[in-house]
Structure 1
């Protein structure tokens, strides 16, 4: 994909229009007592760098400051001279300079440049040398769509400024608590510890509409708004989102400054962007004026439309007159035309193009180009007859500018609105003319491909270490010879081994028929395959856990648990007096309510022993 820029707050990095030098790794920062004195009225000593590193590791933040992060990516797209109207507006200064308005809500339609604006604001606010917390919600990134993920990132970002927070987090580490043991309210309380000590701080949160929409989300928004209006330091918050009722409702009683990315103002920025792209292009100057009129005129305030339109003019074989004549009337038609065009140009069948988009939009984490190429070669090899290198190039060309390939070769969609187009949530059926990626069917297909991949000789090369314990060998954990090197043996192995069950559960939750998956699970969760996969994925504590039924319960596989419960040999195995990992308490402890119901239906004892060989009523787990 072209390294030119995404969107009208978007520029071309190669021309030196980045907003600063943040693309080099920051030098290490050593904080002294004087550095934190203003943030630390109780004079609590900072923790050691080693302790801070352990706390950050425990928090499991996203790669928020990596070169491939959403922040760095969108900051690189910012074009000087765009967005200045917002920064000079009275409403922005009311929020930034005043003491009565701690909450700024920037609203705009999909593709209007909100994320680029958010990234440029983060960079601008960082120049004030005060803590700036930030998070980019993304439905297409597994780690970026839950509210608790934002809180963990914010704690990691503010940690170095707050010795009181450091001390509190160290105590949690000393208690050997797991991350899952802390509620979202607990994370909010830790954040308040830091904010209470800070004389000033900013928080920028992008794309609130891409959060998981649950009861927890509503609570998150209310708490965020309260912090922006509370006496906790001088915290100023910037939020961006689409103008949706589901976001507006929990903020109804909040006091905030609102700025809309209105079409006329955004169109002026789009004109700057189009002029910038044309000035460095090979397009003859005689066409510049007509393109400068046509693109902003059709963009209707969408930088993304402008970016894709200019890309179409810059194709080597493009006819300027023909592109002008066929400029789509909206973004959905643009998506449809680009997908059809690139399927034809690349020689890729629509089936494989759709498969690429299914992996990009529904994978549990962003996949690398090599990973997608290998799974296509493994499962679709008879249709492509290509080697791995050629398949990588085919994937690159499959969807043209609609897929973005980051420097580490991770692939993502160019914008969340493309995911909405593909899943059918925004398009008019009359103009669509492209298959809808159904949720249940897609996850079922991806689960089947992961399982087929594991069963296609991948596990044959996995070697288990011999058991070492002579006393109570059942309590030894199965292990793989050269475990870490084994991941490197096949590019897609790690994803398939660690994520197939997530896709199975999602397909199940959508009510998709599991007949084909059952056949694959009968092969994987049995005998040597079960031991090798379980040891590779490290899903057990010891050998007594390595049974099909216990594994299905651990993974929350409702349908397959039911199938196993119909087999007498599984019931006998799990009720063996030598086994202390009992099925019913295990399912209850993991919160798998539907499996608990199944086990009770099949006659399991409510008073069964738990996994620590202690009598435990199932009701005590809150079931």
Structure 2
């Protein structure tokens, strides 16, 4: 039975798909210099937070480069050490801009839930929750995770949740996560870590704040550690026998650090590059002031290297500033070895890890892959480096994108030439070169925009080998490229035009339109391309296609594809392209056109496309008119919890009391009560009935109870909701069926009648 229970627990943990943070935590903690960061553990606000069970939130905030992530690792280590009993849990997430695609709000919440259930007996509710979802093969939604997370948290005396670098999350993901954590706050001790620029107070009105600026004594310890005399390095040789100079260097670094470990690190990196004591002293007198100045000085050091070292560093920084996903060290090494005029790959061009790190002067770091696979990954050493390099057109912009796209294309042509020379069509040739997967997937992405015209001949050279080698077929099938076509064949032409339109390749769209005889092809060819351009926000291509004869109101896709993907105006609304919506409406697009996903305004409301909604309303869209699929724009916005959209619709005449058959006669308030506190407040302020529609199955209060949202239950009760309505199936009965003790107590406190 114990083995079976352990296996079931492992199965559920694997199903939740939590982020693997232990390896990341160890790596970050290893960066801590001995003795640093103890001030935080001794801070009275921190000690109060760490000792008070549940319902405590604290914000550790600090300027860029202050060492917040290392401080977070110190907090995590302290909590893990002092909370080892079975009725406590510590969950932590280190957010990272390099891994943003993996760090969704759902996975972060799954990580928190996994920390609670790991090494503890599974509850019956959690097993049922897993079985229900596993039966139909779906993952839990954010709302469902929030609900089960709250139930599981009540089983423990203390649950600590630490989320570092929330400022590096995408805005929509951060907003969703903060809303969930706010709803869960009564059951957790939460620490959020970020720069001061992130507005947390909207969700956490009474959150305590600790300023995380690096303390002088910590920077002093860090500088002393870096300048230790027993280290074997050029710096140690320069400082040998010069204790006064070492002491002066430590004091100068502390004085110039401005509360930033990152700035102290850059200063020490600069000093480490000095060849002798005289240069060391001179540099010490003129340390750069501020992060930008320090980064600029580092770039100057890079540019003053030998030609080979300089070009290697610049190329590496260009790749790491502009890559579309995190890359491995091996991928970068192969990317750096590509020469644009070569016909075959030369392995003698590969450079080793130490050389890359040396010539990049501390702006690049290498670490094992964060999810424990031990693959070596390469990154810019700090988020501030990325921010700095993106402001420098030597490392970011169309010219750089052109170089990267050309390197990708050249690499793909290496494979073609290799296949020719070996007389084989071995599709597995792609596995011989680690850079293949990135080049095949992203060459077209780097080529988008200005690089198109320059790279056209190279791209068509690649396509010219399409029929000659199975390798090229394999590469094209797995890539985001668009050149899978023959102009004489409608299928290939239509496919190419649609791909080019979807990815914004304006010059290539014009190239295709100029060379094809449109009259020879069906009207759907242009229509499908118009749909793709409208969906992906490429206005200039939309204009070209309409000029070529595409019908703005046409529906061209095959019947088994969802109709929301068939009308250009609808897809432009749903995906937030207000400029295209404006253009289509100005070219006789019908604003009351609807499909199986609803009216354009409903689609905009569901996806919180505020500018699109304003455009539609300005062109006469009726805010009260709804489709049989969505009910009304207001209902769509309420379902999704979009506050600003709700305000816009209500200000333009939407009815807060309106119901819809498609939502079983429910009002927007009854829909929003499942978890959108701000929306509930707005609807009540605009006259929504506190008890909802009598024809609906649940009142707003029952909906909040059903979803276990204590914050909204309390809000509705305070605004006058009846805990006994409707007779015979009151909110109290709903809470009893749910087994929600907190809701039961709250309803009784507000006068619910026990039956």
Q: Mark yes or no: TM-score above 0.5.
A: yes
Offset of residue 205 of structure 1: 0.9
Number of positions where the alignment pairs a residue of Structure 1 with one of Structure 2: 527
How far apart, in 2, do the equivalents of 1:219 and 1:441 lie? 36
The answer for the alignment partner of 1:608 in structure 2 is 556
Against the structure 1 CA distance between its residues 357 and 153, is the aligned structure 2 distance closer, same or farther, given a 3 Å change threshold? farther
Q: Cα gap change, 1:310/1:559 in structure 2, threshold over 3 Å: closer, same or farther? A: closer
Q: Is the 8 A contact 1:47 1:167 kept in 2?
A: no
Q: Do structure 1's residue 325 and structure 2's residue 268 form an aligned pair?
A: no
- CA deviation profile, 1:306-364 (whole Å, cap 9, x unmatched): 22333444447243323323322222222222222234335436555332112112212
Partner of 1:243: 196
2:48 to 94, 100, 110: 94
Query: CA 1:538–1:112 in 2, change beyond 3 Å: closer, same or farther?
Result: closer
Match of 1:274 among 193, 217, 223: 223
Classify 1:332/1:300 alpha carbon distance in 2 versus 1 (closer, same or farther; 3 Å): same
Instruction: Pick closer, same or farther for the CA change 1:48–1:455 going to 2, 3 Å.
Output: same
Partner of residue 743, structure 2: none
- Aligned partners of 1:337, 1:275: CA distance in 2, in Å? 23
Provide closer, same or farther for how the CA distance between residues 98 and 213 of structure 1 changes in structure 2, counting only shifts above 3 A.
same
Q: Compare 525-534 and 80-89 and name the one that shifted more.
A: 525-534
- In structure 1, the residue matched to 2:434 is 491
Asked if 1 retains the 8 angstrom alpha-carbon contact of 2:216 and 2:259, the reply is yes
State how far apart, in whole Å, the 2-side matches of 1:355 and 1:545 are: 41
Deviation at 1:462, TM superposition (A): 10
Q: CA deviation at 1:118?
A: 0.8
Q: 1:239: how far off?
A: 0.9
Q: CA RMSD in A?
A: 4.4
Q: Which of 180, 196, 200 in structure 2 is aligned with 1:223?
A: 180
Cα distance, 1:381 vs structure 2: 7.3
**How far apart, CA to CA, are the structure 2 residues paired with 1:275 and 1:391?**
30
Equivalent residues in 2 for 1:443-522, closer than 5 Å = 443-458=401-416, 461=419, 483=428, 486-504=429-447, 507-508=448-449, 512=450, 514-522=452-460
Give the direction of change, closer, same or farther, for the CA distance of 1:375–1:278 in structure 2 (3 Å limit): closer
1:37-186 pair list within 5 angstroms: 48=8, 51-52=11-12, 55-56=15-16, 59=17, 62-66=19-23, 69=24, 71-99=25-53, 101-127=55-81, 128-129=83-84, 130-143=88-101, 147-148=105-106, 150-151=108-109, 153-154=111-112, 157-158=115-116, 160=118, 163=123, 164-165=125-126, 167-177=128-138, 184-185=142-143
Unaligned runs of 5+ in 1: 1-29, 34-44, 425-433, 467-479
Tell me by how many angstroms 1:516 deviates.
Answer: 3.0
Partner Cα separation in structure 2 for residue 620 and residue 293 of structure 1 = 69
1:76 & 1:571 partners in 2: Cα distance?
A: 67
1:395 alignment counterpart:
356
1:558 paired residue number: 504
Distance 2:400 2:163 in 1: 30
SS of equivalent residue, structure 1 residue 401: coil
Report which of the two structures shows the higher radius of gyration computed on alpha carbons.
Answer: 2
Conserved 8 A contact 1:367-1:411: yes
1:312-391 to 2 correspondences below 5 Å: 312-315=270-273, 317-319=275-277, 320-348=280-308, 350=310, 352-379=312-339, 387-390=348-351
Counterpart mapping for 1:533-544 below 5 A = 533-536=475-478
Cα separation, 1, equivalents of 2:445 and 2:351: 30
Alignment of 1:271-310 (within 5 A): 271-279=220-228, 280-281=230-231, 282=236, 283=239, 284=241, 285-310=243-268
Give CA deviations for 1:287-316 in whole Å, capped at 9, x if unaligned.
Answer: 232122111011121112222333444447
| Residues 381-415 of structure 1: per-residue CA shift (max 9 Å, x gap) | 78x99923447664333212221122544211221
| CA distance, structure 1, for counterparts of residue 166 and residue 35 of structure 2 | 26
SS of the residue corresponding to residue 359 of structure 1 reads: helix
| TM-score normalised over the length of structure 1 | 0.71
Q: Matches of 2:71 and 2:393 in 1, distance apart? A: 33
SS at structure 2 position matched to 1:222: helix
- Is the CA contact 1:423–1:436 (under 8 Å) kept in the aligned structure 2? no
Taking structure 1 as reference, are residues 613 and 332 closer, same or farther at Cα in structure 2, changes over 3 Å only? closer
Q: Distance in 2 between matches of 1:184 and 1:439?
A: 37
Specify which of 249, 252, 259 is matched with residue 210 of structure 2: 259
CA contact (8 A) 2:161 2:191 kept: yes
Q: Using the alignment, how far apart are the partners of 2:395 and 2:273 within structure 1?
A: 28
- What does the per-residue CA deviation read over 1:241-298, in whole Å, with 9 as the maximum and x for residues that have no partner? 1111x424534x52211100245xx111111222233334433323232122111011
Which consecutive residues of structure 2, in runs of 5 or more, have no partner in the other structure?
A: 369-374, 568-594, 601-755
Secondary structure at 1:364's aligned position in 2? coil
CA distance in 2, matches of 1:386, 1:316: 33
Instruction: Report the counterpart of residue 20 of structure 1 in structure 2.
Output: none
Distance in 1 between residues matched to 2:127 and 2:72, nearest whole Å: 28
- Distance across 2 between alignment mates of 1:611 and 1:196: 49
Once residues 67 and 597 of structure 2 are traced to their aligned partners in structure 1, the CA distance between those partners, rounded to angstroms, is 47
- Cα distance in 2 between the residues matched to 1:536 and 1:48: 36
Structure-1 residue corresponding to 2:643: none
Q: Residues 183-235 of structure 1, C-alpha deviation per residue, up to 9 Å, x if partnerless?
A: 65555456445445544322111112212234x5334333323422x3xx3x1
Offset at residue 370 of structure 1 (A)? 2.8
